Amino acid sequence: MTAVLPDVDPFSPEFLADPYPAHELLREAGPVVHLERYGIHASARHAPVRAALHDPEAFCSSAGVGISDFRKEQPWRPPSLLLEADPPEHTRARRVVAGVLSAAAMRRLTEAFTAAADELVARLAHGAPFDAMAELALVYPLRVFSDAVGVPEDGREHLLQYARMVFNTFGPRNELFENAVAGAGPTREWVDQQCREENLRPGGMGAQIHARAAAEGFSPDDAAMLVRSFLSAGVDTTVHGLGNALWCLARHPDQYTLLRADPGLARAAFEEVLRYEAPVQTFFRTTTRPVALDGVEIGGGEKVLLFLGAAGRDPRQWSDPDAFDVTRRATGHVGFGFGIHACVGMAMARLEGEAVLTALARHVARIEPAGEPRRMLNNTLRGLETLPLRLVPGPA
């Protein structure tokens, strides 16, 4: 009944460098497949991925959302109260964090996020080659997110290394995992310190987490853990969302022409990037009991790998899925997950994407590749290490 794939390794360098041929193989093998190499189930189709995310009682998060089963193995860091939790504990934690990331909070951030994007893009629209990762995709979230949360300026670059490590640790203990955690002591120490109330700017989102968490009855240590979720999930995800957006637009000049002609497409274009090149490629769930997923029986206590990125290109869900099309309706993709664990910061991510793409449309006539980008390999994230581009200036 279940297709067994003995050799597929979704965490090998070859797979991570170009996952799309393997995604197709996985999708076409069945709604749910068995990856013998790791003894796990997996799904690369949109409908079953969405269905598993929609059923947190049968597909839980408290056993970890990476390949490691927290019921059998010691987690590498204390589990997240948000990501690696189930109701009812998850519900309380989510309420605290969601309150800080409300629509009203996003409206208050819009002006600063828009101005920062405009200033940065205008400065980079000089027509000479530059590294759009180092000078744009990395710089922008690190600045606007850290300012909003209230993280001190000194040492912010630790956040990049920290997130990269967190996302590598959702995979198996391969070279990426081991290299990420090796020598990371000082970075972990720095992040843990910044999560404490006394190190966060009063009035910032980190301080607001502490205030709301205290009101919900969380201890100061648990409140700090909720800030840790912010710092884990808030920077590298948007860094690679923006990097992937720039690379998509550089490779598809016809699509950039559409965006340039109508900057109102910025929000939809960013959404299409998340469908087409999802920064977060995968998450796991663990079955709490025997359960059928899209007609395939899975036993209890099993790890299930959900290919969010592959679901974004499932031809059962999307027409011409391998076409990057900024005019399509890409909402409904599962790049932000789905259900009770859907990205709690997605409004902020979308605000960042919209701000940067709008600024490009305003200041840049053409986005041109200026050399081959270097890919970053990560057990969970899909993104670039370097991205040589030219932003050819043009009037608004």
Binding site for ligand OVM (CB under 6 A): 80, 82-83, 166, 228-229, 232-233
Of residues 228 and 382, the one with the C-beta less far from ligand OVM: 228
SS3 of 322, please?
coil
In the block, which residue shows the tokens 């000049």? 253
Of residues 233 and 387, the one with the C-beta less far from ligand OVM: 233
The CA dihedral of 188, 191, 192, 193, to the nearest 10 degrees, is 120
Of residues 124 and 226, the one with the C-beta less far from ligand OVM: 226
Minimum CB separation from ligand OVM for residue 163, in Å? 7
Distance CA 43, CA 334 (A): 13
Of residues 228 and 362, the one with the C-beta less far from ligand OVM: 228
What is the separation of C-alpha 259 from the centre of its chain, rounded to a whole number of angstroms?
Answer: 23
Q: Are 210 and 220 in contact (CB under 8 A)?
A: yes
Widest distance between CA atoms in the chain? 60
Of residues 80 and 194, the one with the C-beta less far from ligand OVM: 80
Of residues 31 and 241, the one with the C-beta less far from ligand OVM: 241
Minimum CB separation from ligand OVM for residue 108, in Å? 23
Minimum CB separation from ligand OVM for residue 383, in Å? 14
Minimum CB separation from ligand OVM for residue 239, in Å? 13
Distance CA 178, CA 181 (A): 5
Residue 337 region, left (φ>0) first, then alpha (ψ -120 to 50), else beta? left
Q: Which residues of 135-144 are buried (b: 16+ CB within 10 A; e: fewer)?
A: ebbbbbbbbb
Of residues 164 and 328, the one with the C-beta less far from ligand OVM: 164
Distance CA 250, CA 242 (A): 12
User: Which residues, 6+ apart, have CB-to-CB distance to 226 below 8 Å?
Assistant: 81, 82, 93, 96, 97, 209, 213, 218
Query: Residue type for 119, please?
Result: E
Q: Are 311 and 50 in contact (CB under 8 A)?
A: yes
Cα dist from 378 to 37, 38, 244, whole Å: 19, 18, 14
**Which letter does DSSP use for residue 134 in this model?**
I
Distance CA 59, CA 55 (A): 6
User: Which residues, 6+ apart, have CB-to-CB distance to 219 below 8 Å?
Assistant: none
Minimum CB separation from ligand OVM for residue 123, in Å? 30
Minimum CB separation from ligand OVM for residue 29, in Å? 27
Q: Are 367 and 102 in contact (CB under 8 A)?
A: no
Minimum CB separation from ligand OVM for residue 66, in Å? 10
Of residues 162 and 324, the one with the C-beta less far from ligand OVM: 162
Q: Dihedral sign for Cα 274, 252, 12, 235, please.
A: negative
Of residues 285 and 362, the one with the C-beta less far from ligand OVM: 285
Minimum CB separation from ligand OVM for residue 270, in Å? 17
Minimum CB separation from ligand OVM for residue 294, in Å? 24
